[in-house]
Structure 1
């Protein structure tokens, strides 16, 4: 699949910080393979709405692939090697997923990236993600690679504390956001999704978030 990224520079990129950028359209050619992979993963580990440690249900539906899967319930936020809902290992990360994550990280200045987890989020209209830091990983400098598929969204990218101003970043189908290094612990989130219809995903936005857990 590496040749799918040969024309990725056509869409250009936007800098969000010294080590944070959006690669516009980087995943466009790979999108059909990614969506096929998501369907296969969801058949083994269905999307579900998790709960926060405080008992509040998270708005977006989630599943995982890779060596580890992110999970949340009253026990806390954490990574699990076994899907607590099925008692089985999470589906393996497809090669298409891994190649895209590695290529996007390298394009954003992070060569040698090797994620071991991919959290897959499904947003329905009205669902969003509040400002938060990704801090459950042992490696807090390796980049996060976030792939947008389907309906457009507004990504919020802030500072190192929750109260700092945020930048609103429009994300379209095929865009990839990458942040790591000095920008790795910035607060970020997603505005509630506006209603719409996308030819590739229907009434949803899908988001692949690659992480290096250990």
Structure 2
């Protein structure tokens, strides 16, 4: 059954790989609006939304702000030493609860969310031209699942294998309100965003254009 305050009718799940689940329309419009408002607050600081600079000098096309721990290629720190040296905003308890509900619903097992305690969130904003290359989320010291929430414009999300950036992979369209979880044998699968489809989002979410992606993770750090 759908969870109160999230989606409406029971969504049709797809499973592109073992341990990976796509739940369309999981977030209600009201929940999306609240997340957009929260993301705007986090984007203002104490560490502001910014384009991350990579060690070799490249600059990511997405803009990012972090909670709990600051992701700095390729490590986590409590302070944003590559931005302004400030300590990142705290990871709120209500976001932990959201992650727990997401796991329980995605895996259709209430026990799946028990004990899941994400302590960092990477919030990425994509404008119409931004993409994300194929990569693994492997800077964490934990194998707990990653919970990904989408708001705004639809994107083409490429979900691959654990061995390489190439085939086999599956392209999944992630629309506003969608939930995507990957854990178990797919926890360290390569994945990326090949395209954003401008104008496909609903301004009623509070986001006039672009795409927000909120990923919840367990760092495994003290």
Counterpart Cα distance in 2 of 1:94 and 1:174 = 20
Q: Partner residue of 1:82? A: 79
Identify unmatched segments of 5+ residues in structure 2: none
Cα deviation digits, residues 24-72 of structure 1 (max 9, x gap): 1112241111111101111222210011111111110000112x12123
Conserved? CA contact 1:34–1:96, under 8 Å: no
Q: How does 1:29-108 map to 2 (within 5 A)?
A: 29-44=30-45, 45-66=47-68, 68-72=69-73, 77-84=74-81, 85-108=83-106
Distance 2:62 2:21 in 1: 24
Q: Which residue of 1 aligns with 2:154?
A: 152
1:212 and 1:123 map into 2 onto residues whose CA distance is: 23
The two structures have a TM-score, normalised by structure 2, of: 0.87
Query: What is residue 167 of structure 2 aligned with on the other side?
Result: 164
The CA deviation at 1:99 is 2.1
Q: Secondary structure at the match of 1:193?
A: strand
DSSP 3-state at the match of 2:209: coil
Which residue pairs with 1:17 in the alignment?
A: 17
* Total equivalences in the alignment: 206
SS in 2 for 1:206: strand
User: In the alignment, does 2:122 pair up with 1:119?
Assistant: yes
Q: CA deviation at 1:143?
A: 0.4
Post-superposition Cα deviations, 1:56-100, rounded to whole Å, max 9, x if no partner, equal 11110000112x12123xxxx111111222322211223442222
Please give the alpha-carbon distance, in whole angstroms, between the structure 1 residues aligned to 2:41 and 2:54: 27
Whether the 8 Å contact between 2:99 and 2:113 is mirrored in structure 1 is no
Confirm whether residue 212 of structure 1 aligns to residue 209 of structure 2.
Answer: no
Task: Give, in whole Å, the separation in 1 of the partners of 2:167 and 2:198.
Answer: 29
Q: Mark the runs of 5 or more structure 1 residues left unpaired by the alignment.
A: none
CA drift of 1:159 comes to 0.8
